[in-house]
Structure 1
Amino acid sequence: MKRRSVRPAEAAELLGVCRDTVYVLLRSGQLRSIKAGRARLIPLAAIDELLSATDEVLR
């Protein structure tokens, strides 16, 4: 089964930023996440949305 979400450390690796930056993006609302028990999960679709929004700004 294909993974649909990642933890913040994995998201940081995918985005090429540090884990702290991922938490800043989460707090600012630029990156969506869900809470599952004590775990914070970031849907891969949310990472795609963030990157698409960044592409739009850079154009």
Structure 2
Amino acid sequence: MTMNLLTVAEIAAQMRVSKMTVYRLVQSGEMHGIRFGRSYRVPETSVQQYLESVNSGTDFRTPTS
């Protein structure tokens, strides 16, 4: 299984937001990221889950049961 990892710059361009916005999303836990040295990589599935949670109005950080 391969995991597509995106850079903060790639996500920012895709979402049309600043890189700082993406960093804040990762650091707050709203979007899951993996730290590599001084930079982050975010699984493409995490970006999709975050966008779906925003569209549905649910809080991504709160587990549903």
Same fold (TM > 0.5): yes
- Bigger fraction of residues in helix: 1
Q: Name the Cα RMSD after superposition.
A: 2.0
TM-score using structure 1 length: 0.82
Unaligned segments of structure 1, at least 5 residues: none
Structure 2 match to 1:35: 35
TM-score using structure 2 length: 0.75
For these two proteins, the number of residue pairs brought into alignment is: 57
Unaligned segments of structure 2, at least 5 residues: 59-65
Give % identity.
Answer: 26
Q: Tell me which amino acid in the other structure corresponds to 1:9.
A: A
